[in-house]
Amino acid sequence: MTYIVNDNCIACKYTDCVEVCPVDCFYEGENMLVIHPDECIDCGVCEPECPADAIRPDTEPDTEQWVEFNRKYAAQWPVIITKKDPLPDADERDGEEGKLEKYFSETSWARASANSSRMPATAVGSRSKKSETLPDINSVGRNPGLSTSSMSIV
């Protein structure tokens, strides 16, 4: 068994669930979250945390498609481990029908944010609890004030 996130999350993206997950198996898209079904340990602590009732066990009817949906986007989107504010229209969209067809975006949150605010590159999808800034590979070892002859190997 695993848990899945269904279309109730779309256009709401409440993130109360991510803080209680002991294995960090939530992944963040532009306007929803998903659970990686192969990482979920089936503890169920996330389910009651979701105000939109978007987290369900895969044993419920009609959840097979959501298992594959969650697997697909968990492989593409970055992991999320800290609570964030819900989307601005979350309260209005909560409970709305047809959100998959109306609002779903395949874009990851990191890509959407980078396009809108020109954020620095970060370790997208990193499993660490803190974000790391990636070095510019072209500048590594090219510090004009530092020569390799002044470096020693310990």
pLDDT digits (tens, 9 = 90+) for 63-78: 999 999 999 999 999 9
Looking at residue 128, its pLDDT comes to: 37
At 144 the three-state DSSP class reads coil
Give the phi and the psi of residue 65 in degrees, each rounded to 5: -60, -35
Q: Where are the domains of the chain?
A: 3-117
Share of the chain above pLDDT 90, in %: 69
d(CA 55, CA 60): 11
d(CA 54, CA 71): 16
For 110, the enclosing helix (H) or strand (E) is helix 109-117
Architecture of domain 3-117: 2-Layer Sandwich (3.30)
d(CA 148, CA 47): 55
Whether pTM exceeds 0.85: no
- In tens, the pLDDT along 74-129 reads 999 999 999 999 999 999 999 999 999 999 999 987 666 666 543 333 333 433 33
